[in-house]
Amino acid sequence: MRWRRSRKLKALGGGLSLTGWRYLAGTAENNGPPFRTILDSGIHAGMSSDGMQIAPMNPWLHMYYATTGRNATGDLINDGQQITRDEVLRLYTADNGWFTREEDVTGTIEPGRYGDLAVPSDDYRTVPDEGLKRIRSVLTVVGGRVVHDAGSLR
């Protein structure tokens, strides 16, 4: 999509899922998505890891790519389009509710919202960039039930 068209998409009330396969096979000539441009445009955007046919399921790999612009081999292929860790975390959480019309009940931890959560193995905000790719959930709670427990919190 040409980003001059972003005004049209925004006017139509459209949104973009920013997850893709570029982390695995992208190059400096074949990169994207232009995370910074999209976020700055005000278009609704979100990220997910549902595209296992064309992208890895691990959200931490996508978060690494969005924040560093580096592909799986470490090459900088999306320079100038990097976003902050807080921005990509918001794309995976609070901003995704817009796509399912659940923005009032999902994405943040507040009274009256669903209380699903995941406890990561490392501090997302301070782990070195390469460490982002190795983060795993040590505890996951969905609907008030523990659905994953790695046993490391005992």
Go through 84-122 and write b for each residue having 16 or more CB atoms within 10 A of its CB, e for each that does not.
Answer: ebebbbbbbbebbbeeeeeeeeebeeeeeeeebeeeebe
Question: Residue 50 has what pLDDT?
Answer: 62
- The model's confidence at residue 99, banded by pLDDT at 50, 70 and 90, is confident
Is the pLDDT reported for residue 51 higher than 60?
A: no
pTM of the model: 0.87
Average pLDDT in the 80-107 region? 91
Distance from C-alpha of 37 to C-alpha of 46, rounded to nearest angstrom? 14
- What pLDDT is attached to residue 13? 85
pLDDT of residue 21: 79
Q: Is the pLDDT of residue 53 over 60?
A: no
Highest mean pLDDT among 53-57, 90-94, 107-111: 90-94
Residue, of 5 and 131, whose pLDDT is higher: 131
Mean pLDDT of 43-55: 73
* pLDDT at 57 exceeding the cut of 70: yes
Q: What is the pLDDT of residues 136-148, one digit of tens each?
A: 999 999 888 899 9
Amino acid at 135: I
